Structure 1
Amino acid sequence: MGLLSTPVQIENGSVGDMKAHLNRRELIQRLGAAAAGLYLAPARLTASTPAPIAPVAISRCSSYGPEVVSALASMFDQLGGLAKLVSGKTVAIKINVTGSSTERFRGLSQGQTYWVHPQVVSATVHLLGQAGARRIRLLESPTSSKVHTLEEFISQAGWKVSELTSAAPRVEMENTNFAGPSKQYVRFAVPGGGMLFKAYDLNRSYEDCDVFVSLAKLKEHTTAGLTGSMKNLFGITPTTIYGEGAGIDEPSQEAAGGRSMLHNGSRQPSKSALPELNPHSPRDPGYRVPRVTVDLVAARPIHLSIIDGIQTVAGGEGPWARQMRTVPPGLLIAGTNCVTTDAVCAALMGFDPMADRGTPPFENCDSTLKLAEELGIGTRDLRRVEVIGVPISKGRIDFRKV
């Protein structure tokens, strides 16, 4: 079991003592964060408690070659070093490999367009191993595949699994659509009661870790405005519970399509999980998706955000977005606060991170950055953020004009 919290196991739909669970989780997370030299946000933002800040590192990186390792290593050093965060610990990495394992855009690989690139994953794993990580787990819940293992899913996209598993000692992978060997999901309570759900049932790998990393792609998102380290967590929800074809009473035995219920409230999750707080709340995806995202970030805090912006796309998060087009920012971004990191990413994409609904990139949705800031997770105010490495003004590329 990881050191950050004590799980509430889900058996026959019971919740257990969620209040005691949350108190233990919060206490131990704060102690662990203090030991790592990090700062976790208060449960709620108040006038006397400003949202936390943390530096963000930006590096130029023109290709997916050996320079990825050196660029990331330099950035991690600038942020204070990986060893004090991961040495002797289990590290879980949520990778961003959305949609199909076979669908490519204009003949380019998924990693060159709308997935995080395998070279960035491999370099991250390598550096975590060098820093003393005891165990590294790559996690994702694919929506469009019937395969049961993450290894098979990424292999279909041309990834070489052996290059990832050999990048450091004891590297594992798990398709978190399923409960896994424990055969039990874990209920993650949202501090403060949640905006859309009070709690989410997830694969226990998101619990059984000491350090949680979000490894995402720098790109726009048709529903949430932009994809970054926070939106990446939307994919930790198992489709067996939150998918279009999820079981009614219990989780399904197969991956069950897209997460439309989280987008438009077309149905409720499997009855083994908690229903949404208010079934009469707006069914608008632009209202729901940002709130689910922030719920998940609050329930499963991110300790390290890494964003692949070497080659990416604008106009959407995948080939199903009609306006999607390639963009070559040539950047890597990393930070220890997910809100601060995503705010810098927004600025690098030519957007104002202080924007609200109705203003790019949030024309049709609420701002995930604003919601997370209001919850006290981090600040989106760049005036309070130390940017290390490439200045935003030198790295910015207008995603709406390329």
Structure 2
Amino acid sequence: MNSGRREFLAVAGAAAVAGYAGFRGGRSAGPPEVKAPVQKPLAGAMSQVAVVKAASYSHEIADAMMRGILECGLDVTGKRVLLKPNLVEFDFNTCINTDVAVVAAALDVFQSLGAEEVRIGEGPGHRRDTYAIAALTRYRTELPKFDDVFIDLNRQDVSVVQGFADRKEFYFANPVFEADLIVSLAKMKTHHWAGATLSMKNYFGLVPGSIYG
């Protein structure tokens, strides 16, 4: 794992805890506007959370996602959505990636809720042939119009954000800035450095390999 990507995890965690708004999603006509971070107090802030059980990788996944989204009052009508699965490498003997059924369900749910565009993006930090991993994990064969909706974030143009957490600047792939909503479809598992891979750790793949290795 490259030190630049490790640094991202540390500063991203700090940004979340401190309530910084230096890194924003949301579409733009060009590179993001350069601004100093604006600190937002967390006091009084509350996130909408829903915990919905799905017993298996079946149609229940889409139903559970839909219930959770509706319970949280999330409106994606006319929005551009970027789905971020955990797609890092492949091993026939274990489960280390977000199951294709989860990604397919999310794609269907957000499209049915009226999103203007739903795309899937990942920038693996281990295996760099992203499309080969997508084939091994059945993404290419089981996701509708895969080649139209999938983005290899390691190979996209990038833009810089200045004042991200306590760093002078940080680069992200442009599709990150073009999205109104980024959805982390994490694969819960242990991790040798972070301890566990959850929703925040999954954003590791937003950091472009073309810059940070």
More helix by share: 2
Matched residue, 2:161: 188
| Structure 2 residue matching 1:132: 3-state secondary structure | coil
User: For residues 186 and 43 of structure 1, do their structure 2 counterparts lie closer, same or farther at Cα, with a shift above 3 Å needed?
Assistant: same
User: For residues 7 and 200 of structure 1, do their structure 2 counterparts lie closer, same or farther at Cα, with a shift above 3 Å needed?
Assistant: farther
Verify: 1:165 aligned to 2:144, yes or no. Answer: yes
Matched residue, 1:59: 52
User: For residues 241 and 127 of structure 1, do their structure 2 counterparts lie closer, same or farther at Cα, with a shift above 3 Å needed?
Assistant: same
Q: Is the 8 A contact 1:164 1:171 kept in 2?
A: no
Matched residue, 1:237: 207
One-letter amino acid of the structure 2 residue matched with residue 156 of structure 1? L
Matches within 5 A, 1:2-401: 3-5=26-28, 7-8=30-31, 18-19=34-35, 43-45=39-41, 50=43, 52-80=45-73, 82=74, 84=75, 86-98=76-88, 100-101=89-90, 103-105=91-93, 108=94, 113-147=95-129, 150-157=130-137, 159-166=138-145, 172-179=149-156, 184-191=157-164, 194-195=165-166, 197-243=167-213
User: For residues 211 and 160 of structure 1, do their structure 2 counterparts lie closer, same or farther at Cα, with a shift above 3 Å needed?
Assistant: closer
User: For residues 3 and 239 of structure 1, do their structure 2 counterparts lie closer, same or farther at Cα, with a shift above 3 Å needed?
Assistant: closer
| Structure 1 residue matching 2:150: 3-state secondary structure | strand
Counterpart Cα distance in 2 of 1:3 and 1:201: 16
Give CA deviations for 1:341-381 in whole Å, capped at 9, x if unaligned. Answer: xxxxxxxxxxxxxxxxxxxxxxxxxxxxxxxxxxxxxxxxx
What is the CA-CA distance between 1:119 and the residue it aligns to?
Answer: 0.5
| Structure 2 residue matching 1:133: 3-state secondary structure | coil
One-letter amino acid of the structure 2 residue matched with residue 216 of structure 1? A
One-letter amino acid of the structure 2 residue matched with residue 228 of structure 1? L
The structure, 1 or 2, with the larger RCO (C-alpha pairs under 8 Å, 6+ apart) is 2
Unaligned runs of 5+ in 1: 10-16, 24-41, 244-402
Q: Is the 8 A contact 2:31 2:174 kept in 1?
A: no
Counterpart Cα distance in 2 of 1:190 and 1:207: 16
One-letter amino acid of the structure 1 residue matched with residue 64 of structure 2? A
Instruction: Please identify the structure whose Cα radius of gyration is greater.
Output: 1
One-letter amino acid of the structure 2 residue matched with residue 104 of structure 1? F
Matched residue, 2:10: none
Q: Is the 8 A contact 1:151 1:173 kept in 2?
A: no
**How many residues align structurally?**
189
Q: Is the 8 A contact 1:91 1:137 kept in 2?
A: yes
Counterpart Cα distance in 1 of 2:105 and 2:178: 23
Q: Is the 8 A contact 2:135 2:141 kept in 1?
A: no
Q: Is the 8 A contact 1:135 1:171 kept in 2?
A: no
Counterpart Cα distance in 1 of 2:66 and 2:118: 17
What is the CA-CA distance between 1:44 and the residue it aligns to?
Answer: 4.1
Q: Is the 8 A contact 1:187 1:199 kept in 2?
A: yes
Counterpart Cα distance in 2 of 1:54 and 1:146: 35
What is the CA-CA distance between 1:7 and the residue it aligns to?
Answer: 4.5
TM-score between the two structures when normalised by the length of structure 2: 0.76
Counterpart Cα distance in 1 of 2:112 and 2:199: 23
Q: Is the 8 A contact 2:160 2:169 kept in 1?
A: yes
Counterpart Cα distance in 2 of 1:201 and 1:188: 6
What is the CA-CA distance between 1:95 and the residue it aligns to?
Answer: 1.2
Over the residues paired in the alignment, what is the CA RMSD in angstroms?
2.7
Counterpart Cα distance in 2 of 1:190 and 1:124: 32
User: For residues 134 and 75 of structure 1, do their structure 2 counterparts lie closer, same or farther at Cα, with a shift above 3 Å needed?
Assistant: same
Counterpart Cα distance in 2 of 1:43 and 1:171: 38
User: For residues 189 and 214 of structure 1, do their structure 2 counterparts lie closer, same or farther at Cα, with a shift above 3 Å needed?
Assistant: farther
User: For residues 222 and 205 of structure 1, do their structure 2 counterparts lie closer, same or farther at Cα, with a shift above 3 Å needed?
Assistant: same
What is the CA-CA distance between 1:229 and the residue it aligns to?
Answer: 1.3
